[in-house]
Structure 1
Amino acid sequence: MALIIIADDDEIAGGIARDALIAAGHGVGLLADGRAALQVIAAKRPDLCVLDCNMPALSGLLVLREMRNSRALCDIPVLMLTGRQSERDAELARFEGANDYMRKPFDPDELVFRAEELIARRRS
Structure 2
Amino acid sequence: MTQLHSLEAAMGRIILAEDEEISGTIASSALMNAGHAVGWLKDGKEVLAAMVRRPPNLAILDCNMPGMSGVLVLREMRRRADLCEVPVLMLTGRTSDSDERIARFAGADEYLTKPFDLIELVQTAEDLMNGKRRRLS
- TM (norm. structure 1) is 0.97
| Structure 1 segments unaligned to the other structure (5+ residues) | none
CA distance, structure 1, for counterparts of residue 80 and residue 22 of structure 2: 30
Runs of 4+ in 1 over 6 A off after TM superposition: none
- The code of the aligned residue for 2:127 comes to E
Q: Deviations over 1:86-105 (max 9, x none)?
A: 01000110000000000000
- The code of the aligned residue for 1:90 comes to E
Relative contact order, higher structure (CA 8 A, sep 6+): 1
- TM (norm. structure 2) is 0.88
The match for 2:91 is 81
Identity of aligned residues (%): 54
Q: Give the 5 Å matches for 1:1-124.
A: 1-121=11-131
Q: Deviations over 1:28-77 (max 9, x none)?
A: 00000100000001111100000000000100000000000001100000
Q: Secondary structure at the match of 2:91?
A: strand
Coordinate RMSD, CA, aligned = 0.8
| Structure 2 segments unaligned to the other structure (5+ residues) | 1-10, 133-137
Higher Rg of the two aligned structures: 2
